[in-house]
Amino acid sequence: MQFEFTDDQKRFRAEVRDFLRRELTPEVWAQHRDTGEQGMWSVPFTKAFRRKLGAAGYIGMGWPTEYGGGGRSRIYQAIFWDEMEYARAPGLDRSITYVPNTLLAFGSHAQKEALLPRVVRGELAWFVGYSEPEAGSDLANVRTRAVDDGDSFIVTGQKAFSSDAHMADYSLVLARTDPGSSRHRGLTLMIVDMTSPGVNISRHPTLAGWTHHAVYFDGVRVPKSMVLGEVNEGWKVVMGAIDFERAALASHGLVAFQLDRLLEWTQLGSDQGSPPIQEPTVQDELVRLAIESEGARLTTYWLASLHAKGLMPQHETSLAVLVKRETARRLDSSGLEMLGPFGPLRHGSPAAQLEGDVELEYRDRLYFQFAAGGFDITRNVIALRGLGLPR
């Protein structure tokens, strides 16, 4: 791994940073920020901004030009993700990160030809339908059924914890196509058009500030041409997709932004009392956070360097996302503690410090610490795949 970026990579970072600064002005933040059920940005603005990213050539820059990509190294993709997170920009989600990477790795030529150019243009939004009620992180506990019906499957079942399902054009749905098989066998991953008859969605607000969705499939017809990978071999595809998801979740930019802003606040403080940075305990904690943040940053780019070499990291993605999550969790807790009585104040409160974002991120992380596997599951993956330890 090279610890220095090339001159071209540095120019690219500056270009992305300038683009985001021009597009996300204070006026835009004031007009389109939404800290309600959808998180940081309103849905219409998120969709419009994703198209702007596509027009600027930032989506799919690491994919083959054959499918509309930029043909660049995955290092450029990691830089773009990093800057997007630091700017807290909208649109950096599954629709332009791990879902299209999964299509690229496992999709048929026809699927890639039909869908990836539209992804590159920022036209498509996706959700992922793995988890089910009463199953949680046990992804193999799939009750959704897909019954063979000629050139199609008829899908019936329910998916839970489905982020952004209400604005998705397509979904990746894991269904059991061989009911006689157990656990990881007999599963198939398929691409479902969300406008299909029989798809219904209900909203479920969470303490994290996001709205998750329950998605119901009532006799939904899915052409066999939309199967991703092979029939009854869906578990292998899902494991690959989750590795891509972990790689996206490992991005470091938001942690860097939060730490920089917290450091700035401790030097100024509120209008009550002396700056917190004068306290030795605050100084000590900031140093620890800076060390952990730098470790998370290097781990992110180490992972990107493996992708750039054409490798398919497995336990390495789990390691990278674990380092990032541990750092983020500590940063959230430390931030609340340093803000003292101002910490729990939400966005919109007259006395809120840092616009109430520390409290918002603390709640938000309650969800994200479980995405693509919680802490213990991630450690188990590292132990089994990386260290070869017995079950």
Q: Which of 83, 85, 132, 245 is catalytic?
A: 245
Query: Residues 34-58: what's their mean pLDDT?
Result: 83
What is the value of pTM for the model shown?
0.90
Q: What is the pLDDT of residues 360-381, one digit of tens each?
A: 888 877 766 677 677 788 888 8
Q: What is the pLDDT of residues 334-347, one digit of tens each?
A: 999 999 999 999 88
Architecture of domain 7-92: Orthogonal Bundle (1.10)
Q: Please report which confidence band the pLDDT of residue 244 belongs to, taking 50, 70 and 90 as the band edges.
A: confident
Mean pLDDT of all residues in the chain?
Answer: 90
Q: Please report which confidence band the pLDDT of residue 164 belongs to, taking 50, 70 and 90 as the band edges.
A: confident
Architecture of domain 250-386: Up-down Bundle (1.20)
- Classified as helix, coil or strand, 215 is strand
User: What residue ranges of the chain are covered by domains with CATH 2.40.110.10?
Assistant: 128-233
Q: Please report which confidence band the pLDDT of residue 388 belongs to, taking 50, 70 and 90 as the band edges.
A: confident
Q: Measure the CA–CA gap between 208 and 120, rounded to whole angstroms.
A: 30
**Structure confidence at residue 290 (pLDDT):** 97
Pairwise pLDDT comparison (300 vs 209), residue with the higher score: 300
User: What residue ranges of the chain are covered by domains with CATH 1.10.540.10?
Assistant: 7-92
- Which are the contacts of 330, defined by CB distance < 8 A and separation ≥ 6? 288, 289, 292
Q: Give how far Cα 101 sits from Cα of 95, 120, 140, 374, Å.
A: 10, 11, 22, 22
DSSP string, 258-300: HHHHHHHHHHH--SSSS-GGGSHHHHHHHHHHHHHHHHHHHHH
Q: Give the containing element (helix H, strand E) for 201.
A: strand 199-205
Architecture of domain 128-233: Beta Barrel (2.40)
User: What residue ranges of the chain are covered by domains with CATH 1.20.140.10?
Assistant: 250-386
Q: What is the pLDDT of residues 53-76, one digit of tens each?
A: 999 999 999 888 989 889 899 899
Active site residue 359: no
Residue 135 has pLDDT above 60, yes or no: yes
Q: Measure the CA–CA gap between 334 and 368, rounded to whole angstroms.
A: 18
Q: Measure the CA–CA gap between 249 and 317, rounded to whole angstroms.
A: 9
Q: Please report which confidence band the pLDDT of residue 37 belongs to, taking 50, 70 and 90 as the band edges.
A: very low
**Contact in structure between 53 and 41 (CB atoms under 8 Å):** no
For residue 322, list its beta bridge partners.
Answer: none
**Structure confidence at residue 270 (pLDDT):** 61
- Classified as helix, coil or strand, 93 is coil
Q: What is the pLDDT of residues 252-296, one digit of tens each?
A: 999 999 999 999 999 986 666 789 999 999 999 999 999 999 999
Percent of the chain with pLDDT over 90: 59
Q: Please report which confidence band the pLDDT of residue 123 belongs to, taking 50, 70 and 90 as the band edges.
A: very high
Query: Residues 152-175: what's their mean pLDDT?
Result: 93
